[in-house]
Amino acid sequence: MSKFQFPESIMSRPVYGTLEPRLGHAHLFVADAEGAEAILDLAKKDPGLMSSAHIIFIPRATGETYVEQLKALRPAQFYSGPSYEAALPRLRRVFSDASMGLQVYLSGTEGLMGQAQSEAMQAGIAPAAIQTEHRGSVARRMQCVHCKGITEDVMTDPFVCSHCGLNLFVRDHYSRRLAAYQGVCIDAEDPGNVPDPVELYS
Amino acid sequence: MSASPTKAKAGAEKISVVVSAKVPVNDLVTRFEFKRQDGGPFPTFSGGAHTVVEMNDAGRTRLNPYSLMSDPEDTETYAISVRRDDEGRGGSLFMHNFVNVGDQMNITYPVNLFNLDLRARKHLFLAGGIGITPFVAMSKQLDRIGGNWELHYGVRSAALGSYAEELSTKNPNKVHVYEDDKGEAIALEALLNGQPLGTHVYVCGPKGMIDWVRQTAKQAGWPDDNVHFEEFAAPQPGEPFEVRLCKSDRTITVGEHESLLEALEREGVDAPYLCRGGACGQCETDVIRHDGAFVHRDHWLEDEVKASGKKIMPCVSRFVGASLEIDR
Ligand code: FES
């Protein structure tokens, strides 16, 4: 599938690139759903890299579509799990065992890449050692600035906070620490006056 | 010694000092300690900073940068260590042979082009020979704030390992010394690959060592941001050449054993500088026109800029050809 080009926005909004093979003795891939395609593409550029690769994959709605293809790359280690939360203990263990030279490759949805990036940076990995490539859904991980609750996979603007029920406007203002965009109440001044939700980037 | 009258206003501000100690460290290295003439406190500095020492060598002004190796918080004394270079341009020989306790000198305020990145989880120091000096100050700074550091220090022999014994006795678990004459060498690849996430590496030593570390770190997948190096180029002698100075409206000749910057200073032209080693960018000068080839020796200008012939770093770079005109 072709890659979605996000329009230019404020500085706060993360920008994503294309995964490129890098030098190093260990390579960690974290991907969800169509993010698998970015790994498959990279493996074509440098098949040798896979012998020192660890792939953590969360298929989400893609089910079994990519699992066998990724395994066929023969990475040193492969893990597939139902959710980011389920993969997190493993991710943390990889980071705690890792040493300098580890290259991190993140691909898939913004929510997945953002969370894994924040985890990597807390582990001391330099931002320069982390690459990202957006693939698949343009859904956003949103934080309600009022109740601080996180709503995953937001596809429309405005949307309803899954925690406090406020109608939230989707901003491009992004928190790297939380790996979430900020959602701000859209009808605070005139409660109930809520525009019809529009699908993001439609 | 007093400031030479032709000394330009350029460079970091000066401090008048008196040599308070001259301590032979080994056959090649001597430590010089300075106190302020006015009795006041020195500014504190950060580990990795250098000072430019002004020498009046029989009427010729020499300005050589040396890393400060005293405790950065010590405002009473500054210390540098000077390795005697018998083949060099003479600054180190002058220090060794003619500078003595009680002499008055000028040195500049500290300038740091090799500072610690305090976001690092660990600081890995790689020193070769006299390249040890900035790390002496850095380790003192880190000890004060509980920073995590480790030193790997290559020396020619035990006898020439400046401060090696002192450092290892004080920090037996942090300091590793490699003696060249015993065939010992840093196992660099393994060392780099074994470092915890968030480590920054710092290298100071001969050019070959710096290149080796940078190259090996790149191969090992270290981001450039985590690799720090101090590379002072010493100006090299070369064929004398003429330069037309368009602002000053005159033409001067750069002698075989002086740099373009030194020639400007000799002529009383105010030319900016900080490091005098092609590292800081301060002396960058526009070339108005030229007919000939540049000998670029700095680590400042990008390769494309060097190739364009539009800029020169007078502290280390030279020119060979028919004519050169610069914006000074
Ligand atoms: S004085 Fe620093 S680059 Fe020339």
The CATH code of the domain that includes B45 is: 2.40.30.10
Helices H / strands E in chain A, number of each = 4, 12
Sign of CA dihedral B212, B218, B222, B228: positive
Q: Is the pLDDT of residue B9 over 90?
A: no
Pocket test for ligand 1, best of B112, B283, B299, B301 (most atoms within 8 A of CB): B283
The Cα–Cα gap between A3 and A187 comes to 34
Do A49 and B221 contact (CB within 8 A), yes or no?
no
- Confirm whether B194 is domain-assigned: yes
Both B185 and B214 in a single domain? yes
Q: What is the pLDDT of residues B85-124, one digit of tens each?
A: 988 788 899 999 999 999 999 999 999 999 999 999 999 9
Last residue of a domain, one of B184, B205, B230: B230
The answer to whether the CB atoms of B221 and A98 lie below 8 A apart is: no
Residue to test with chain B: of A28, A97, A100, A103, most B Cβ within 10 A: A100
Q: What is the pLDDT of residues B128-186, one digit of tens each?
A: 999 999 999 999 999 999 999 999 999 999 999 999 999 999 999 999 999 999 999 99
The Cα–Cα gap between B309 and B296 comes to 10
Q: Is the pLDDT of residue B234 over 90?
A: no
Q: Given CB atoms, is A117 within the 8 Å cutoff of chain B?
A: no
Least Cα separation, residue A178 to chain B (angstroms): 20
User: Above pLDDT 70, what percent of chain B?
Assistant: 97
Q: Given CB atoms, is A23 within the 8 Å cutoff of chain B?
A: yes
Whole-number Cα distances in Å, B46 to A31, B42, B79, B132, B269: 42, 13, 14, 16, 31
Q: Search chain A and give the residue with CA nearest B196.
A: A99
Residues in chain B within 8 Å Cβ distance of A22: 221
pLDDT of residue A2: 63
Interface of B with A in 190-209 (CB under 8 A): 192-199
Q: What is the pLDDT of residues A119-162, one digit of tens each?
A: 999 999 988 899 999 999 999 999 999 999 999 999 999 999 99
The answer to whether the CB atoms of A125 and B226 lie below 8 A apart is: no
Least Cα separation, residue A165 to chain B (angstroms): 40
The CATH code of the domain that includes B258 is: 3.10.20.30
Q: Given CB atoms, is A123 within the 8 Å cutoff of chain B?
A: yes
As for how many domains chain B has, the answer is 3
For chain B, the average pLDDT equals 93
The answer to whether the CB atoms of B220 and A95 lie below 8 A apart is: no
pLDDT of residue B87: 83
Which ipTM was obtained for this model?
0.86
The CATH code of the domain that includes B197 is: 3.40.50.80
pLDDT of residue B90: 84
Q: Search chain B and give the residue with CA nearest A102.
A: B221
Q: What is the pLDDT of residues A45-85, one digit of tens each?
A: 999 999 999 999 999 999 999 999 999 999 999 999 999 99
Both B172 and B211 in a single domain? yes
Instruction: Kindly indicate the confidence band of residue B231, based on its pLDDT and cuts at 50, 70 and 90.
Output: confident
- Confirm whether B292 is domain-assigned: yes
CATH code reported for the domain at A26-134: 3.40.50.80
Residue B31 C-alpha to ligand 1 middle, in angstroms? 25
- Confirm whether B1 is domain-assigned: no
Instruction: Kindly indicate the confidence band of residue A1, based on its pLDDT and cuts at 50, 70 and 90.
Output: low
Domain extents in chain A = 26-134, 140-199
Average pLDDT over residues B241-267: 93
The answer to whether the CB atoms of A25 and B220 lie below 8 A apart is: yes
The Cα–Cα gap between B205 and B197 comes to 25
pLDDT of residue B10: 67
Pocket test for ligand 1, best of B236, B282, B312, B328 (most atoms within 8 A of CB): B282
The Cα–Cα gap between B45 and B43 comes to 6
Bridge pairing between strands A77-80 and A53-58: parallel
Last residue of a domain, one of B50, B79, B112: B112
Both B140 and B213 in a single domain? yes
> Ligand 1 atom closest to Cα of B279?
3
The answer to whether the CB atoms of B221 and A95 lie below 8 A apart is: no
Last residue of a domain, one of B193, B210, B230: B230
- Minimum mean pLDDT among A135-139, B7-11, B67-71, B244-248: which range? B7-11
Residues in chain A within 8 Å Cβ distance of B226: 100, 126, 128
pLDDT of residue A202: 82
Both B223 and B185 in a single domain? yes
pLDDT of residue A155: 95
Retrieve residue B252's tokens.
């001067």
pLDDT of residue B73: 96
User: Rounded to two decimals, what is the model's pTM?
Assistant: 0.88
Radius of gyration (Cα) for chain B, nearest Å? 20
- Confirm whether B235 is domain-assigned: no
Q: Is the pLDDT of residue B1 over 70?
A: no
Q: Is the pLDDT of residue B7 over 50?
A: no
The answer to whether the CB atoms of B221 and A128 lie below 8 A apart is: no
pLDDT of residue B2: 41
Whole domain around residue B135: which residue ranges?
Answer: 122-230
